[in-house]
Amino acid sequence: MFKLVSRLSGRRAAVTGQFCCRPGSSQLHLASGASCQKSALDYSSADIPDMPSCNFKPEEYKGMSKERMMEIRRQYCNPMTMKVTYYKKPVFIHQGHMQWLWDVDGRRYLDLFAGVATVSVGHCHPKVTAAAEHQLKRLWHTTSIYVYPPLHEYCEKLASYFPDPLKVIYLTNSGSEANDLAMLMARLHTGNFDILTFRGSYHGGSPQTMGLTSNAAYKYPIANGLGCTNTMCPDVFRGPWGGSHCRDSPVQTIRDCGCAQGHCMANEQYIGQLKETFATSVPSRIAAFFGEPIQGVGGAVQYPRNYLKEAYKLVRERGGVCIADEVQTGFGRTGTHFWGFQGHDVIPDMVTMAKGIGNGFPMGAVVTTPEIAASFAKGVHFNTFGGNPVACAIASSVLDTIKEDGAQQISLDVGTYLMTELAKFRDKYEIIGDVRGKGLQIGVEMVKDKVSRDPLPAEAMSEIFEDVKDMGVLIGKGGVYGQTFRIKPPMCITREDADFFLAVFNKSIQNYMDRSLMRQSCCSLGLARFHLGIGAVCQKPAFKHPPADLPEMPPCDFQGEKYKGLSKEGMMKIRKEHCNPVTMSITYYERPIYIYHGYNQWLWDVDGRRYLDLFAGVATVSVGHCNPKVTAAAEKQLKRLWHTTNIYVHPTLHEYCEKLASNLPDPLKVIYLTNSGTEANDLAMLMARLYTGNYEIITFRGSYHGGSQQTMGLTSNSSYKYPIATSSGCTHVMCPDVFRGLWGGSHCRDSPVQTIRECNCAPGQCMAKDQYIGQLNEAFATSLPSRIAAFFAEPIQGMGGATQYPKNYLKEAYKLVRERGGICIADEVQTGFGRTGTHFWGFQGHEVMPDMVTMAKGIGNGFPMGAVVTTPEIAASFGKAFHFNTFGGSPIACAVGSSVIDTIKEEGLQQNSHDVGTYMLIELAKLRDKHEIIGDVRGKGLQIGVEMVKDKASRAPLSPQAASDIFEDVKDMGVLIGKGGVYKQVFRIQPPMCITKADADFFLAVFDRAVKNYMDRH
């Protein structure tokens, strides 16, 4: 089976290194990537077997020192990174290839945890990396407003892996986002509110999914996830009932079983507990039941056969939908089936997934039925990064690779072998209580003894865990008490790798037992304090016959590839059948655009027509589509390391956090990395409430801060709200809009262009500002308690239509908020990273210092990424529980984010935003004075809004149909812009920050022409 070797005699062996080449090879690997790589072993080669060979040559690490990384980790990284650093001696990860990881010293590790079950087909898998590189050179990001092939190709492919009627797909950026969305959909579809989950489960760390999660370590002491009930987990090893034939696994429990053939007493008892929950803890009608097919963080817990089948029946009888959380079990990991739920012989109503879906790329999904999807059309659900072209290309390649490489069969074969051999260890060692799982979803539960089944103490777990790592293998921990070793490797491991791990694990248990025996011996001799020391070919413009008086579109030297993919009809068919229905409702144009390629400020459709992109995928592409510098940084990191967990220390995280922190004023120096702006704002809400001990949060009417169940409470735009209970404790106060609001004048705002409203204010005085502050004071006096948690404000509203506030308004508002115990949060999701021109951050233009800053969109130029930056004091208050984000701060995200900051500086894009933006604003103001239906022009830098009205006297919004007529005309003449405002009456101009004055002139001529065309028609 595997080579067992001599045991240590009570003390650690000397650190001498270990060869990892095949027997007979004598070359030692140096960090430079010489032919044979030294392993991570701290034992002599006589003590353990040879590590399996690996022909891959890693790069030599030349980055910052370990000491500097740890210094940055303490100073700038969120404190959770220190808390989740599993090891006493941290692992500093530099590079990965398939099942292998290398640290900064060139030591090699067998990775059996896969970045928390996330790297599905192997680190930097060549096929998946090639797919990513190919798409990175074509188009990173665009919005689902347009139709682009990768989304439709992927949705069709993913849908083909599901049984009917699971055919409608919503793409997200993480598992928490997916589960958050599934909660919302379930409540909307059923009209019910209560949701059931198992004790010990983990379904996410957002304020809503925290209610689903049933593990105290991941819960914060504030109101969260209302309407969630945790019922008894049918755990046949640790629970009250269990036997030796209960579960669908190669290995059963050690518990006795007297059940007759085909009968399971344990199953009946656990179903009885579920019925008791229905009778006592929830109303007669419920919304949903969430269940992982095998618990992940809970420690690979399996349920009795047929339990889920009976549970689903009971849930549906009570009006609920059944949701399979496949975040950890999906994509062939369980071996016998592609999805974990198939092993239970059930069909859920919804399936959520993430982690292995993208092999480490930030991505998730909800798959549901057409019926449930149809009930979700009562509002607009929007996800900036969900289903972006790069994510879809990668995920499509992952599906292909799983099939081509036989990864599911490997999971079955190697996983079954591992469990069978681990069961022999269980029979050998008293402290191994249970071995369980399916495929490569394996748990080994450690106990004090088999009779009591009491969990092995945390210190003992850590000793074994460190020992396994020191001998060259990385595994995980889980379970309610942290008592279960989790083995969830990339699905490319070999039987040889399994044998190496088995020998290492066996040795580690032996070592622990020897040390325990020695400790007992020492104690019996009175030596209680004895210490062992172990411690696009053709670039046609987007119009066939440009008007004679329209200038030519500025030239572009870039040559795009010729499109050879799905037909337009095929894409629209998939969009209707498999893409979430909201993609149809947000397809702005009557004649949709089918986007294929992008480069800097340009987009090409599948027919090779070129468009000037002045919306940048909803203000997301900051430095230009497929910017060569940023693309190069991404490609370089793709070949080095995509994903690992923050349990380990990896240089890119620390380099990026230090760089980002250097661009923020003191004391804003502690950084929490997320996958989106919604996640960032969700987290900021949680932190504000924990820090202040207060609950109420204020935002402006017309604002947009996200679409999760919590951030939907912050958002004040009915288009983005669903008719269910969303985040309580959110109050919307009057937006100080000096054009459309009650008060305004001609000197109010910090912009090159003022409103057309008259103003009689004396110099230095602003009556409009005073009136709006009065409204805020009134809200404090009437609608809020005396102490509040936070005030969220965008420096310039984005979705709200580039709305600007009077000068000094935020300064006074911040003072009032702080007097009431609240903290001030600047939502820089759209305004950050130099977009406003005068400053790197929008809040700096208001001369205020927030307590927290949230950001996303432009942070990664289209890569799914976000952040919360706060003070050390606020961060310190967030250490009451574990906050974990699978993809937040991944190596590739940090490499991209770092390159974006460098590119903004090196290419002078902040100054370009100021110069081109100011020019555009001034010229647009001339068009406002020319055309009666242009009511207002506003903004700073390249955050611009043009508000359309029926007439200037009434300021009544231009009708949606009229705005759409102009919008389509602009598009048909080759320019893409956005729409916003409460009444969709504002054209939004938020281009990549690399546009030129020539581009601006082209747009100005197009826009003038489009408005004139409308006026002529009417």
How far is residue 526 CA from its own chain's centroid?
Answer: 54
Checking if the pLDDT of 84 tops 80, the result is: no
Q: What rounded mean pLDDT belongs to the chain? A: 89
Checking if the pLDDT of 530 tops 70, the result is: no
Query: In the numeric block, which tokens belong to residue 872?
Result: 């050390």
pLDDT at residue 17 in the model? 33
Checking if the pLDDT of 298 tops 80, the result is: yes
Read off φ and ψ for residue 172, nearest 5 degrees.
Answer: -125, -170
pLDDT at residue 585 in the model? 66
Global pTM? Answer: 0.84
For residue 216, the 8-state DSSP code is G
Q: Which residue has the tokens 């799983």?
A: 402
pLDDT at residue 216 in the model? 86
Q: What is the pLDDT of residues 397-406, one digit of tens each?
A: 999 999 999 9
Burial of 93 (0-12, 13-18, 19+ CB in 10 A): buried
Q: Angle formed by the axes of helices 407-428 and 495-524, to 10°? A: 20
pLDDT-based confidence at 897, cuts 50/70/90? very high
Query: In the numeric block, which tokens belong to residue 639?
Result: 């070949």
pLDDT at residue 727 in the model? 66
Checking if the pLDDT of 379 tops 80, the result is: no
Q: Which residue has the tokens 């996303």?
A: 856
Checking if the pLDDT of 703 tops 90, the result is: yes
pLDDT at residue 526 in the model? 47
pLDDT at residue 790 in the model? 97
The predicted model gives 489-494 an average pLDDT of 98
pLDDT-based confidence at 521, cuts 50/70/90? low
Q: What is the pLDDT of residues 410-435, one digit of tens each?
A: 999 999 999 999 999 999 999 999 99
User: Which of 505-509's residues contact partners 24+ apart within 8 Å by CB, and which partners?
Assistant: 505/422, 505/425, 505/444, 505/468, 505/473, 506/4, 506/425, 507/5, 507/7, 507/47, 507/48, 507/467, 507/471, 508/464, 508/467, 508/468, 508/471, 509/425, 509/429, 509/431, 509/432, 509/464
Give the CA count within 13 Å in the CB-facing half-sphere of 105.
11
Q: What dihedral angle (degrees, nearest 10) is formed by the CA atoms of 576, 577, 582, 587?
A: -30
pLDDT-based confidence at 759, cuts 50/70/90? confident
How far is residue 134 CA from its own chain's centroid?
Answer: 23
Checking if the pLDDT of 35 tops 60, the result is: no
Q: H or E element: which one contains 602?
A: strand 602-605
Question: Contact at 8 Å (CB) between 250 and 422?
Answer: no
Please name which of 934, 896, 960 lies closest in space to residue 1015, comparing C-alpha atoms: 934
Checking if the pLDDT of 14 tops 70, the result is: no
Residues 6+ apart with CB under 8 A from 229: 194, 195, 196, 197, 277, 281, 282
Checking if the pLDDT of 830 tops 80, the result is: yes
pLDDT at residue 34 in the model? 32
Give the CA count within 13 Å in the CB-facing half-sphere of 949.
19
Read off φ and ψ for residue 575, nearest 5 degrees.
Answer: -60, -40
Checking if the pLDDT of 542 tops 60, the result is: no
pLDDT at residue 86 in the model? 72
pLDDT-based confidence at 27, cuts 50/70/90? very low
pLDDT-based confidence at 223, cuts 50/70/90? confident
* Cα–Cα distance, 836 to 193 (Å, whole number): 42
Which has more pLDDT, 560 or 101?
101
Checking if the pLDDT of 36 tops 70, the result is: no
Give the CA count within 13 Å in the CB-facing half-sphere of 114.
32
Q: Show the 3-state SS of 476-487.
A: EEECCCCCEEEE
For 549-590, the DSSP string reads TSPPPPP----PPPP-S--HHHHHHHHHHTB-THHHHT---S
Checking if the pLDDT of 116 tops 80, the result is: yes
Q: Show the 3-state SS of 516-558.
A: HHHHHHHHHCCCCCCCCCCCCCCCEECCCCCCCCCCCCCCCCC
pLDDT at residue 552 in the model? 86
Checking if the pLDDT of 898 tops 60, the result is: yes
Checking if the pLDDT of 179 tops 80, the result is: yes
